[in-house]
Amino acid sequence: MKNLLTIQDLRVYYYLREGAVRAVDGVSFFMKRGETVGLVGESGSGKSTLGLSILKLVSSPGKIVSGKILFNGNDIAGWNEKKMRLLRGSRISMVFQDPMTSLNPLMRIEEHLVETIRTHQKIPKAEAKKKASLLLNEVGIPPERGGDYPHQFSGGMRQRIGIALAIALNPDLLIADEFTSSLDVIVQFQILNLMKKLKASHQMGLIFISHDISLVSEIADRIALMYAGQIVEFAPADIFFSEPLHPYSEGLLNSVPNIELSDQKLNYIPGMPPDLVRPPDGCRFYPRCPYGEDICRRKEPPLVQIEKEHMVKCFRYDGKKSRT
């Protein structure tokens, strides 16, 4: 099967007065049609920037410096604004983190949907309205409420509206940036289930950006773990959770609180992520890594292919396991 999205050695820098912040620094991963990639990492690891750069929405002073973004086989990294605009919302769409501010406060939600549909399809307003009410129904909002303004909805409902907007044109790929983070746990679960259902019925690929690894485990087929602007481990979800290879993956999974364990101590990874203006020469995780060796400090670790679809950026696996 052909890949829906392949990202090769993507670099996105923010040019500030202090220097270039390497928010995304040589990232590669891929996903197939209909799959879900969980893009996980702590705050500032570059996962949101990576999400935005797939839509080429990184705003100044940010810039895509190099790399390829192959979407359905076309390298969209070189596309101009006009071509990108046709893609945005129709083939690739996005759900935002904060449903409270991602809707225009002065537009009825129906207008939001009609606007989205009519941006890409030249159909009469009445027809777009019909489509809008079907969409609202699909995400569990009574279509009668289409005439209401965003402030008349709760956070969970607004996120449902955000999802309706994102799936309005049956995109091939949906990027969801922390889209459940501002909701409470119960609503999070409902929205996540809704997303699973819609993903299956619309055959969409999903990039689920989150810092919440337990939430990601609910939905992802593949995990891409980011640290300091780089993907340190990319693996099928089941393998990642049962047998994490990178020391950071290991540390992260160990620090998920478990209420079944009696000891009350919270595990965490000591230290802080590095400064992305002047990242360390060697491995970026070296200062916090429990297995750090001398080579890690001097040289950047290679991306080691463990199995066909499993990659780790660490010296510990370099040459140790068979490459296929």
Partner 1 sequence: MKYSISRFIVSNIIKNIFPRKGTEYFVLVGFILVLLIILMAIFAPFIAPYDPIKKVGEILERPSGKFLLGTDGLGRDVLSRIIFGARTAVLVTFLAVSISLSFGVLLGLLSGYTGGKFDTVFSLVMDAMYSFPGLILAIVLAAMLGPGILNTAMAIAVIYTPTYFRMVRGLVLSLKESLFVEAARAIGAKDRTIVFKYIFPNVISSIPIVLSLNAADAVLTLAALSFLGLGLPAPTPDWGFDLRAGHAYLASRIWWPSTFPGLMIVILTLGFSLLGEGLNEILNPELRR
Q: Which residues here bind partner 1, judged by CB under 8 A?
A: 55, 57, 59, 84-90, 93-94, 96-98, 101-107, 115-116, 119-120, 162, 165, 168
Residues contacting 265, CB < 8 A, separation 6+: none
CB of 56 to partner 1, least distance (A): 10
Checking DSSP bridges between strand 36-40 and strand 222-227, what pairing results, if any? parallel
141/283 with CB nearer partner 1? 141
101/203 with CB nearer partner 1? 101
CB of 7 to partner 1, least distance (A): 18
Checking DSSP bridges between strand 74-75 and strand 62-71, what pairing results, if any? antiparallel
Q: Please, are residues 113 and 136 in contact by the beta-carbon 8 Å criterion?
A: yes
Nearest to 176 by CA among 186, 185, 166: 166
Task: Cite the DSSP H helix spans in the chain.
Answer: 47-54, 81-87, 109-120, 125-138, 155-167, 185-202, 213-219, 237-242, 247-254, 294-298
5/228 with CB nearer partner 1? 5
CB of 122 to partner 1, least distance (A): 14
**Buried residues in 190-226 as b, exposed as e (16+ CB within 10 A):** bbbebbeebbeeeebbbbbbbbbbebbbbbbbbbbbb
45/116 with CB nearer partner 1? 116
d(CA 179, CA 183): 9
CB of 175 to partner 1, least distance (A): 8
CB of 209 to partner 1, least distance (A): 14
Nearest to 306 by CA among 221, 252, 233, 250: 233
CB of 290 to partner 1, least distance (A): 39
93/210 with CB nearer partner 1? 93
CB of 85 to partner 1, least distance (A): 5
d(CA 26, CA 93): 23
Query: Which 8-state DSSP code applies to residue 114?
Result: H
Give the three-class secondary structure for 270.
coil
Checking DSSP bridges between strand 222-227 and strand 303-307, what pairing results, if any? unpaired
162/282 with CB nearer partner 1? 162
- State both tokens at 22: 């390497």
52/283 with CB nearer partner 1? 52
CB of 267 to partner 1, least distance (A): 34
163/306 with CB nearer partner 1? 163
176/245 with CB nearer partner 1? 176
Run of H or E including 40 = strand 36-40
CB of 24 to partner 1, least distance (A): 18
